[in-house]
Amino acid sequence: MSRFATPRRIRFSDCDPAGIVFYPQYFVMFNGLLEDWVDGPLAIGFADLVSRRRIGLPTVRLEADFRAVSRFGDDVLLSLAVERLGGRSITLALRCESTDGELRMAVRQVLVTTSLETHQTIDVPADLRGAIERFAG
Question: Which chain residues interact with a copy of itself by CB under 8 A?
Answer: 9-13, 15-20, 22-25, 27-28, 31-32, 35, 39, 45-48, 50-51, 56, 58-66, 69, 71-73, 116, 119
Q: How many residues does the chain have?
A: 137
Shortest distance in whole angstroms from residue 26 CB to a copy of itself: 8
Q: How far apart are CA 89 and CA 4, in angstroms?
A: 19
Shortest distance in whole angstroms from residue 62 CB to a copy of itself: 4
Shortest distance in whole angstroms from residue 74 CB to a copy of itself: 8
Nearer to a copy of itself, 23 or 99 (CB): 23
Our CA dihedral for 54, 57, 59, 60, rounded to 10 degrees, sits at 80
The identity of residue 1, as a single letter, is M
Nearer to a copy of itself, 71 or 129 (CB): 71
| Residue 62 CA from chain centroid, whole number | 11
